[in-house]
């Protein structure tokens, strides 16, 4: 009985493994997914301009987690950053040619990092200071964007003479985004706080960045299976980050708990015995096994190849359009099923129940699971 319940799943996993290994760059499950940078020039200054920079996460199930994004570009000429509000340049660089007023950065390729919410109000602007974290719009539209202001000197002071920065790159923990060249777009319009007046940027350019999986991808999570009837398929040995022969990867100093898979996050699908006929019920448990990482704002994308009825308890959920099979996105509700805090915080596990319906015999289970956008290692197939 047990075997027949799981057999389709096991076949499926092997099929999906073949499918995913042929994946190239970008994300075939989220074709338009991108992070868009928008620069709105708000005023000209004697030697340059002041711009509002907006960073918006338009990916359906990928977030940017702590310690957050870093934005870099290369100036077209010899521009400098006089000041920033709501973010800051990482390095000052060589400002030796300046007397008196000192720019915040003279780097030819400056790197900007976000501030945290606890900086003084004078260093903040509306929409800023989120510690570099970008959630998805589904989780929280306000937390899916970042905003900062930048005063640029040694730059053009008109639409004709200003030069857009080149070679934008966005780096995030465990990965990077490749960005398009800047393109001039229609000036952004702004509604005044009293909503009675519309102003517009003097000039706007836009850059579209797409996630680029790193070479030698290491999954940050693994999937295991179990059931009320005693079935157990644990995460694969060294599914994330070790060599079976390498005992050092299990050093006591490692922030990730020592396990045979060394994954910072593990996800267990537990088949409940109340599953009957065509309906399969699972309890899904997500465990944070990292003592330092905080995944409170987790988001899970579950991909399964046939449209099946999906039910859930204790979570939000949302279905992606069924382009490549059908997919479900699940994330935690505040103060309820969230709580994927660091290991040892007492709240390092999140649980929810989910059911699928399919015609008996043709039933199959989700094939791939993505945690915060990254694909998890599937359970190993028994021989």
Ligand X SMILES: *[C@@H]1O[C@H](CO)[C@@H](O)[C@H](O)[C@H]1NC(C)=O
Q: Which residues bind ligand X (CB under 6 A)?
A: 8, 11-12, 15, 32, 34, 36, 58, 72, 74, 109, 167, 169, 208, 294, 296, 305-306, 341-342, 345, 362, 364
Give 27 or 40: the residue with its C-beta nearer to ligand X. 27
Min dist. Cβ of residue 43 to ligand X (A): 28
Omega within 30 of 0 (cis) for the link into 67? yes
Q: Shortest CA distance to 168 belongs to which of 209, 133, 128?
A: 209
Min dist. Cβ of residue 272 to ligand X (A): 21
Give 220 or 342: the residue with its C-beta nearer to ligand X. 342
Min dist. Cβ of residue 202 to ligand X (A): 24
Question: Nearest-CB residue to ligand X?
Answer: 362
Min dist. Cβ of residue 188 to ligand X (A): 15
Give 50 or 366: the residue with its C-beta nearer to ligand X. 366
Q: Provide the pairing of β-strand 265-271 with 221-227.
A: parallel
Distance CA 40, CA 125 (A): 15
Give 13 or 238: the residue with its C-beta nearer to ligand X. 13
Give 32 or 200: the residue with its C-beta nearer to ligand X. 32
Distance CA 179, CA 171 (A): 10
Min dist. Cβ of residue 275 to ligand X (A): 17
Min dist. Cβ of residue 206 to ligand X (A): 9
Min dist. Cβ of residue 92 to ligand X (A): 18
Q: Shortest CA distance to 173 belongs to which of 134, 226, 229?
A: 134
Degrees to nearest 5, angle at CA 105 with 175 and 111: 5
Min dist. Cβ of residue 23 to ligand X (A): 18
Neighbours of 274 (CB within 10 A): 11
Give 159 or 362: the residue with its C-beta nearer to ligand X. 362
Give 2 or 246: the residue with its C-beta nearer to ligand X. 2
DSSP assignment letter at 252:
T
Q: In whole angstroms, how far apart are CA 58 and each of 19, 70, 237, 381?
A: 25, 17, 35, 35
Contacts of 292 (CB under 8 A, 6+ apart): 255, 342
> Can you spell out the DSSP letters for 86-149?
SEEES-----TT--SS--SB--SS-EEEEPPTTS-GGG--TT--STT-B--TTT-GGGGEEEEE
Give 129 or 242: the residue with its C-beta nearer to ligand X. 129
Degrees to nearest 5, angle at CA 211 with 208 and 212: 120
Distance CA 61, CA 135 (A): 9
Residue owning tokens 């074709």 = 31
Min dist. Cβ of residue 33 to ligand X (A): 7
> Can you spell out the DSSP letters for 54-93?
EEEE--SS--B-TT--EEEEE-SSS-EEEEEESEEES---
Give 23 or 159: the residue with its C-beta nearer to ligand X. 23
Give 199 or 345: the residue with its C-beta nearer to ligand X. 345
Min dist. Cβ of residue 146 to ligand X (A): 15
Neighbours of 186 (CB within 10 A): 9
Q: In whole angstroms, how far apart are CA 378 and each of 12, 230, 236, 368, 370?
A: 11, 19, 8, 7, 10
């Amino acid at each position: 009985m047990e075997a027949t319940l799981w057999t389709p799943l096991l076949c499926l996993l092997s099929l999906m493994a073949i499918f995913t290994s042929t994946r190239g760059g970008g994300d075939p499950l989220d074709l338009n997914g991108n992070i868009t940078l928008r620069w709105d020039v708000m005023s000209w200054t004697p030697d340059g301009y002041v711009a509002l920079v907006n960073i918006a996460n338009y990916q359906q199930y990928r977030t940017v987690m702590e310690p957050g994004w870093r934005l870099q570009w290369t100036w077209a000429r010899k521009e400098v950053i006089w000041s920033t509000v709501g973010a800051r340049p990482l390095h000052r660089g060589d400002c030796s040619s300046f007397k008196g007023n000192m720019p915040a950065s003279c780097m030819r390729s400056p790197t900007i990092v976000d501030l945290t919410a606890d900086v003084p109000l004078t260093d903040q602007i509306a929409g800023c200071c989120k510690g570099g974290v970008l959630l998805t719009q589904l989780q929280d539209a306000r937390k899916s964007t970042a905003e900062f202001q930048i005063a640029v000197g040694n730059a053009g002071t008109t639409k004709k003479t200003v030069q857009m920065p080149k070679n934008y790159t966005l780096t995030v923990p465990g990965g990077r985004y490749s960005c398009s060249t800047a393109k001039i777009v229609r000036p952004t319009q702004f509604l005044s706080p009293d909503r009675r007046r519309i102003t517009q940027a003097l000039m706007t350019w836009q850059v579209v960045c797409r996630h680029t999986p790193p070479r030698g991808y290491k999954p940050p999570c693994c999937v295991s299976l179990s059931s009320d009837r005693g079935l157990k398929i644990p995460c694969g040995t060294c599914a994330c980050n070790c060599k079976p022969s390498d005992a050092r990867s299990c050093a006591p100093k490692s922030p990730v708990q020592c396990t045979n898979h060394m994954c910072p996050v593990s996800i267990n699908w537990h088949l409940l015995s109340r599953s009957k006929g065509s309906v399969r019920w699972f309890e899904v448990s997500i465990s944070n096994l990292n003592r330092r990482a905080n995944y409170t704002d987790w988001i899970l994308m579950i991909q399964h190849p046939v449209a099946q009825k999906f039910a859930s308890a204790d979570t939000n959920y949302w279905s992606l359009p069924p382009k490549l099979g059908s997919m479900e996105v699940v994330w935690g509700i505040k103060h309820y099923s969230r709580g994927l805090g660091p290991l040892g915080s007492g709240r390092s596990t999140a649980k929810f129940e989910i059911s699928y319906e399919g015609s008996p015999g043709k039933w199959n289970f989700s094939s791939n699971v993505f945690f915060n956008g990254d694909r998890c290692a599937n359970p190993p197939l028994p021989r």
